[in-house]
Structure 1
Amino acid sequence: MPKGKNCWYLLYCKAREEERAVQHLQNQGIESFYPVKSVEKIRKGVKSVKQEPLFPNYLFVNLDPETANFNAIRSTRGVASFVRFGITYTKVNDSIISHLQSKLADTDKSIDDSELPKIGDNVVINEGTYKGLEAIFKASHGLERSILLIKLIEQQAELTIDNKNFKLK
């Protein structure tokens, strides 16, 4: 199968069966992309990191439109159907898939505790509403957030913020 002729198509999957569909597509030798993100959950006071779909019920498949058996793919376990506009299957631009893959690879690189500032260190918030504001690192809060002390109207207030959204001053 020459790579130059392949296109990415959008598939709609049965509820919570995206991973089953990916597995069965891989068994058929079909390249698929199922973007997931890590989400911190707290249940009964216990923190855990779960993988959740970026686009629930959807995944992407890379196919040669001239040789692919669209009926067999549509009949794959976990797959409901191709997303279509009329009779035309929805194609997704390669650059969008590449962008998603690179963004997800970047976000999977979480910051470990050794990279965080020490308690009392001055930091600068580099994203969001408080961008440019100086703060004091107070504590790590979960796997991906920290508590900072910011000065608002001559009083210090706590702010919980993603670790990637501030840096050492």
Structure 2
Amino acid sequence: MGIHAAISSDPEALPIGSDGRRWYVVHAFTGREKEADAHLRNQGFDTFNPIEIRTVRHARRLVTKSRAFFPGYLFVRIDVDLDRWRSINGTRGVRSLIMQAERPVACPRGLVERLVEAADPDGVIDTRSTLRPGQKVKVKTGPFADLVGTLDRLDNSGRAKVLLEIMSGERAVSMAGHDLEAL
């Protein structure tokens, strides 16, 4: 299931137009996002179910898996005044639309559109860092801001281990990977 399949009925209409359709959040049962997506598309709804590829260690092996970018959630593009949106709540794999009072709450304009642009044709959003072990990095924030070090390790959860020159020696410091920039 890819982005083109997920938004197959009208790929030209991704930008918000005069048709009144907006993106809304569907709360799906966790782990059943693909099922909910398929059933919504079978009903004629435009959907977007972003996924990410993760490499995890399992039984002393590295295993690459795809999973929902937002576990338990996906997006549907509807016009609440014209479309039969109440049927979404009864779709297999769906808990409900995110609602306020009696109406679905639209996503902020441009949010889902930016996610769609960031995804590849298969709906995969690449979250893997461009940082590599052994690379020189600069710390952007925190108590070690502006220090330069060598990236020792970056795990799948985004934690980094950096070797910094501190107090006449090289010290290993653990921090969030997004606090680093490549040099």
Task: Please give the TM-score of this superposition, normalised by the length of structure 1.
Answer: 0.71
Tell me the distance in 2 between the aligned counterparts of 1:26 and 1:164.
39
Q: Which residue number corresponds to residue 138 of structure 2?
A: 125
1:55-70 equivalent positions in 2, closer than 5 A: 55-70=70-85
Deviates more, 1:126-135 or 1:19-28: 126-135
Between Structure 1 and Structure 2, whose CA radius of gyration is higher?
1
| Partner-residue secondary structure (3-state), 1:94 | coil
Deviates more, 1:140-149 or 1:34-43: 140-149
Cα deviation, residue 104, structure 1: 5.8
The structure-2 alpha-carbon separation of the partners of 1:71 and 1:83, relative to structure 1 and needing over 3 Å to count, comes to same
Cα deviation, residue 165, structure 1: 2.8
In the alignment, is residue 82 of structure 1 matched against residue 100 of structure 2?
no
| Contact map agreement 1:14 1:79 (CA 8 A) in 2 | yes
Q: Which residue number corresponds to residue 48 of structure 1?
A: 63
Alpha-carbon RMSD across the aligned residues, in angstroms, is: 3.5
The structure-2 alpha-carbon separation of the partners of 1:163 and 1:9, relative to structure 1 and needing over 3 Å to count, comes to closer
Identity of aligned residues (%): 20
Cα deviation, residue 108, structure 1: 0.9
In the alignment, is residue 150 of structure 1 matched against residue 150 of structure 2?
no
| Contact map agreement 1:37 1:104 (CA 8 A) in 2 | no
| Contact map agreement 2:52 2:127 (CA 8 A) in 1 | no
Q: Which residue number corresponds to residue 17 of structure 1?
A: 32
**Which amino acid is 2:32 matched to?**
E
| Contact map agreement 2:23 2:78 (CA 8 A) in 1 | yes
Cα deviation, residue 82, structure 1: 1.6
| Contact map agreement 1:141 1:160 (CA 8 A) in 2 | no
The unaligned stretches of length 5 or more in structure 2 are 1-9
Greater per-residue strand proportion = 1
Q: In the comparison of the two structures, how many residue pairs are matched? A: 162
Cα deviation, residue 140, structure 1: 5.9
| Contact map agreement 1:24 1:76 (CA 8 A) in 2 | yes
**Which amino acid is 2:180 matched to?**
N
| Contact map agreement 2:50 2:125 (CA 8 A) in 1 | no
